[in-house]
Chains A and B, each alone.
Chain A
Amino acid sequence: MVFNILVAEDEEITLKHLVATLKGEGYEVLGVNDGLEAYKAVESWGFDLIIADIKMPGMSGLELLAKVKEKYSDTEVIIITGYGSISSAIDAIRIGAHDYVTKPLELGDIVSRVKKIYEKKLLQKQNAALGAMPGSGKKLTIIANSPSMNRIIDTIESLRESECNVLLTGESGVGKNLLAKLIHFSSKRETRPFLAINCATLTEELLASELFGHEKGAFTGAIKSKQGLIEIADTGTLFLDEISEMTTNLQAKLLKAIEDGEFYRVGGTKPVRVNVRFIAATNQNVKALIVDGKFREDLYYRLNVMEIFIPPLRERREDIEPLSRFFLEKQLPKARKKIGGFTKEAIALLKGYSFPGNVRELENIIERAIILEKNPLITPDSLPQSLSMFQIETFEPGNIKTIDELTRAYAVRVLDMVGGNKSKAAVMLGISRTSLWRILKEE
């Protein structure tokens, strides 16, 4: 974790020694010798910790402390004074100082106090991330009998050493969420936070607050400042599901966070620096959204460093049987039933279904079948009636080109070649003008 410290001390030698010592410990340190300069630095950059002398030109240490605590409650402050007195110590602690030390300073003592604050903040961040990290520590199982899924697993394996952003595409229910976790937990960031958010379920304002956090008073109800998911996911991975539902305003803010590794909380004036890997997912045609102006092309290219398309279940039917067995084993303990597997007829029925809801639908069907089944094996009777009553087929948009469509597209191309001259186009195509008109009229 990057830990930023501001040292505000008007005694040049003390300032120099403190800055050098803390930098030597691996912290990012800025030194200033004026209270007002210190406050300007806080406003511009934001710090995790301020070490401030109680008496400084421009603004006293206690004034600085009060101003910082009012606006940036997350920032810790250690007050230093050469004029140690009980009353100034009490004042400092009352205003919100984390600690109070007297001169002459013992650098070892300062280092030790700073280290305690650093560890506390690190723990706070990890706890926030752990609380929001679904399935942490659970084994991830990917069922892949089909060549297409095996290729995807190989691709994820090849990403093990990479930190690149990934875009997952595919229909609803194919398993984008699970694959995002697999990518994270197979990577060098596996021990770092993994957080997820669905961009379609929140309003723009709530999504902004969830992602970027907010400062105290940023809006009605913001009674204290809050870290956003991007901040909590620092050094880890943030999964943005249904990214195509994000408004273009938020897309711009997200782009800045990705490009610069820096963003502002809602209502914030100081930048927050992070190191986050982004995995995004969508079931929409993003390129079409870019053409319609609903998705930023520059953001698309930042997220789409690697794109992984997950095919629908109907295009990998060899995964249906192993998936069904997996869900049966997974759900049986809850149901407290003894069901050994599936009849051939039940498997045939499942394999013949086109699963518009993909893997999620299969899991629901198996869960329901377990509840209804009274036999030692799952039979067609416990599968949804619609599977045997109806012939259900699923088609992806724009996937089928009819002969008419192909003919029309070719006629349009020829017409373009001859500058829109229909007579010339008809001659080139070897058809009458009337036939050409009929072809072009088709929609």
Chain B
Amino acid sequence: MRRRNLLFVAYNNSCFDEGVPYAIELAKTLGKKQLNLLLVRDTNGLGANLVDLAASVNGDAGKVAAAREILAEGGLEEAEFKEKLGRILEKAGEAAIEVTVHASGQDVRKAVKAAVGEGGRVDMVVLGPSLTTSGKLSPRDVNRLIKSATTPVVTIARQSACVA
């Protein structure tokens, strides 16, 4: 029996939570039990490994330091992150969806590939507006990501972009 989950990808900035409520509703509709929130650096990182922020709450000092570094690079204060994450967890809880948070220093395509290849099964990838409307991810990058994906990919682009 596999865990059925949806991967939501966003940049590590203050707009990371945009589109998450939609992803939660979509996960609920599709019968997914878990939403993986993947925060990626918005510049090409240099070989940082996938970091589990959820695990960092349990006091893995090395992971906390790495997570703080990635968050800080995007200008995302830990306090702001926790506040927004709290709202996400509340909404997800109402929908009986479990949320796990990961951070990655790799570029979006590599980070998504790694996340989809990880043990827990990803059935769908959702690229949040912070990625698609920021202008930092080109249509060509999105195209290449979609091409290399082994699961359906949903892109969310906002009419007017959230300012990070």
Q: Say whether A and B bind each other.
A: yes
B29 engages A364 (CB within 8 Å): yes
- A171 in contact (CB, < 8 A): yes
Q: Which residue of B lies closest to A405 (CB)?
A: B147
Contact assessment for B1 and A400 in the assembled complex, using a CB-CB cutoff below 8 Å: no
* B58 proximal to A (CB < 8 A): no
Task: Say how far A206's CB is from chain B's closest CB, in angstroms.
Answer: 8
Q: Is B30 touching A360 in the complex (CB atoms < 8 A)?
A: yes
Cα(A135)–Cα(B131), bound, Å: 44
A404, B156: Cα distance in complex, Å: 25
Q: Is the CB of A395 within 8 A of B2?
A: no
Given the known interface contacts A172-B31, A356-B124, A357-B30, the answer about A393 and B155 at a Cβ–Cβ threshold of 8 Å is yes
Residues of chain A at interface, number, CB under 8 A = 37
Q: Tell me if A141 is interfacial: C-beta within 8 Å of chain B.
A: no
Shortest CB-to-CB span from B45 to chain A, Å, is 17
Residues in B with CB closer than 8 Å to A399 are 146-147
Contact of A393 among B30, B144, B154 (CB under 8 A): B154
Interface bracket on B: 20 to 34
Chain B residues with CB under 8 A of A386:
19, 21-22, 25, 156
Q: In the complex, A401→B2 CA distance in Å?
A: 30
A357 touches B159 (CB 8 A): no
Decide if A361 touches B1 in the complex (CB within 8 Å): no
Q: In this assembly, does B151 line the interface, its C-beta being within 8 Å of a C-beta of chain A?
A: yes
Minimum C-beta distance from B109 to chain A (A): 9
Residues of B within 8 A of A354 (CB): 154
Q: Which of B4, B29, B146, B150 contacts A357 (CB 8 A)?
A: B29
Tell whether, in the assembled complex, residue B159 and residue A389 are in contact, meaning their CB atoms are under 8 Å apart.
Answer: yes
The answer to whether B147 and A200 touch across the interface, beta carbons within 8 angstroms, is no
From B31, B129, B146, contact of A400 by CB (8 A): B146
Interface: A173 (CB within 8 A): yes
Beta-carbon contact of A394 and B25 below 8 Å: no
Name the prevailing secondary structure of the B interface residues: mixed
**A390 interface neighbour in B19, B144, B147, B149, Cβ under 8 Å:** B19
In the assembled complex, A398 has its CB within 8 A of some CB on chain B: yes
Minimal beta-carbon separation of A403 from chain B (angstroms):
10
B-side contacts of A393, CB under 8 Å: 154-155, 157
Chain A residues whose CB sits within 8 angstroms of the CB of B29 once the complex forms: 173, 357, 360-361, 364
CB under 8 Å from chain B, chain A span 273-303: 283, 285, 288
CB closest residue in chain B, given A288: B150
A171 to chain B, nearest CB (A): 6
Cβ contacts under 8 Å, A191 to chain B:
none
Residue numbers of B with Cβ under 8 A of A are 1-2, 4, 19, 21-22, 25-26, 29-31, 123-124, 126, 129, 140, 143-144, 146-159
Please give 13 more A-B residue pairs, beta carbons under 8 A apart, in addition to A386-B156, A391-B156.
Answer: A202-B1, A245-B2, A354-B154, A356-B26, A386-B22, A386-B25, A390-B156, A393-B157, A395-B149, A398-B147, A398-B149, A402-B140, A443-B148
Chain A interface residues toward B at CB < 8 A: 171-173, 200-204, 245, 283, 285, 288, 354, 356-357, 360-361, 364, 384, 386, 389-402, 404-405, 443
Q: Which 8 pairs, one residue from A and one from B, show the smallest C-beta to C-beta distance?
A: A357-B29, A386-B22, A391-B157, A395-B146, A361-B29, A356-B154, A395-B153, A390-B156
Q: List 23 A-B contacts (CB under 8 A).
A: A200-B1, A200-B2, A202-B1, A203-B1, A285-B150, A356-B30, A356-B152, A356-B154, A357-B30, A360-B30, A361-B29, A364-B29, A389-B158, A390-B22, A390-B159, A391-B156, A392-B156, A392-B157, A397-B146, A397-B150, A397-B152, A398-B147, A400-B146
